[in-house]
Amino acid sequence: MHATLSRKSDVAAIMYQLKLWPTLTLYAADGRIEIDNSAAERTLRGVARGCSNVLFPASTAVANAPPCTG
């Protein structure tokens, strides 16, 4: 079964894609740009986990640790 789109939603979809066109062409032209930010998220996961441990300590040592500055 194929969904049919109204003319209004077709135009909205095309306008959305046109708005993103410069970013897509930049990505295609520069091989150094990552398609997603997974590497950055993995790097920051430890920082976020440390903040969580300070906010919700499981021990007195963690509770007395310096506050998370992000």
Q: What is the model's pLDDT at position 27?
A: 86
Where do the structural domains in the chain lie, given as residue ranges? 7-63
Q: What is the model's pLDDT at position 57?
A: 58
Q: How many helices (H) and strands (E) does the chain have?
A: 3, 0
pLDDT tens sequence across 44-55? 777 666 665 556
- Determine the Cα–Cα distance for residues 70 and 68; give it in Å rounded to an integer: 6
Q: Is the pLDDT of residue 30 over 80?
A: yes
Q: Is the pLDDT of residue 33 over 70?
A: yes
Residue 26 and residue 33 in contact, taking contact as beta carbons nearer than 8 Å:
yes
Task: Decide: residue 27, CB within 10 A, 0-12 exposed, 13-18 middle, 19+ buried.
Answer: middle
Residue 50 and residue 31 in contact, taking contact as beta carbons nearer than 8 Å:
no
Q: Is the pLDDT of residue 69 over 80?
A: no
